[in-house]
């Protein structure tokens, strides 16, 4: 049992319940503040409808992985949590590379900013972040990406708030990310490597588990790999005894600017996932059941892993 920050205040980990560990309730919130028409009509109502449906379907907690540079709006997250009674946890940290006008500074400067958002609150709202995030993608960890990763590591050591990593599994980018975190003194059991099911390289996935970290099995229903292929990887890991270190989720956004995706991609995303934050429950779990995963194990997925992660087990 541990106390963590939600957007509505302290939250006991025993009350996390069914948890989706990597979602995006709303991206590019600063765009919505200035140009709401770019989000389409009733975008806030659509967010409430999506989260309400998730709550009615058994989702208790959502970790919003939207950092400042992805357009985080914690006031929206707090209002969503109040209206839907779903726990929402906001993140601090940085998604991708620093813009030129911010590059070249010390990780300690950014660590101070992240610690403030955890201990005091974000942008004067008093809403505190409950998780740290850093990112690297294809091509690996860049010089500016390393600055932010070390900043996240140092903020973690000062607050004990855990870390989620956006990573690129096809190139095994997490190997470098984890090496940097270890250099900074981070215990890797406090780290979740996300988007792991973008690969079917079981040797790499097993190596990640051997390091002690948790695995974000997200991006359902799928980008470069099909949803069924992702579920087969999930089944392999469950059979290997790793169910309590898995963090299934969708990496799904309820509200993004209409221009965020090309029309054909947007249409494909909507057709591929008509269930929103219930896709795992409505599609993945039945598939796992057909594959022979016992109901008792299914009942613990999205419950034990997230709780263990936040408690540092």
Give the containing element (helix H, strand E) for 129: none
Structural domain boundaries enclosing 307: 3-311
Q: What is the DSSP letter of 140?
A: B
Domains contained in the chain, number: 1
- Return per-residue pLDDT of the chain as tens, 313 residues: 799 999 999 999 999 999 999 999 998 887 888 888 888 888 899 999 999 999 999 999 999 999 999 999 999 999 999 999 999 999 999 998 777 777 778 999 999 999 999 999 999 999 999 999 999 999 999 999 999 999 999 999 999 999 999 999 999 999 999 999 999 999 999 999 999 999 999 999 999 999 999 999 999 988 778 999 999 999 999 999 999 999 999 999 888 776 555 555 555 566 678 999 999 999 999 999 999 999 999 999 999 999 999 999 9
The DSSP code sequence of 200-252 is: --HHHHHHHHHTT-EEEE-S-S-SSS-HHHHHHHHHHHHHTT-GGGEEE----
* Run of H or E residues at 255: strand 253-255
SS3 content of the chain, % helix, strand, coil (to 5): 50, 15, 35
DSSP summary character for residue 72: -
Q: Note the pLDDT of residue 267.
A: 57
Asked if 251 contacts 277 with a C-beta cutoff of 8 angstroms, the reply is no
CATH number for position 16: 3.20.20.140
């Amino acid at each position: 049992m541990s106390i963590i920050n939600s957007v509505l205040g302290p939250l006991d980990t025993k009350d996390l319940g069914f948890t989706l560990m990597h979602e995006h309730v709303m991206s590019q919130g600063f765009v919505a503040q200035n140009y709401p028409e770019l989000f389409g009509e009733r975008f806030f109502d659509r967010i409430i409808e999506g989260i309400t449906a998730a709550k009615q379907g058994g989702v208790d907690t959502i970790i919003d992985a939207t950092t400042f540079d992805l357009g985080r709006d914690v006031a929206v997250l707090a209002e969503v949590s109040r209206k839907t009674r779903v726990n929402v946890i906001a993140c601090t940290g940085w998604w991708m590379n620093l813009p030129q006008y911010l590059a070249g500074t010390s990780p300690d400067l950014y660590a101070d900013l992240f610690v403030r958002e955890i201990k005091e609150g974000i942008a004067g709202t008093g809403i505190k972040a409950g998780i740290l995030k850093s990112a690297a993608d294809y091509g690996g960890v860049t010089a500016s990406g390393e600055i932010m990763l070390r900043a996240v590591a140092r903020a973690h050591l000062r607050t004990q708030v855990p870390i989620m990593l956006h990573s690129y599994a096809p190139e095994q980018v997490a190997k470098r990310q984890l090496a940097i975190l270890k250099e900074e003194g981070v215990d890797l059991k406090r780290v979740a490597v996300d988007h792991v099911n973008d690969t079917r390289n079981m040797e790499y996935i097993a190596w990640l588990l051997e390091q002690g970290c948790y695995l974000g099995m997200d991006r359902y229903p799928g980008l470069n790999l099909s949803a069924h292929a992702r579920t087969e990887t999930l089944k392999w890991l469950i059979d290997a005894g790793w169910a309590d270190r898995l963090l299934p989720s969708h990496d799904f956004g309820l509200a993004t600017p209409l221009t965020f995706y090309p029309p054909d991609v947007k249409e494909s995303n909507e057709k591929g996932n008509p269930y929103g934050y219930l896709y795992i429950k409505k599609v993945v779990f039945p598939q796992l059941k057909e594959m022979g995963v016992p109901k008792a194990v299914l009942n613990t997925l999205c419950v034990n892993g997230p709780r263990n992660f936040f408690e540092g087990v």
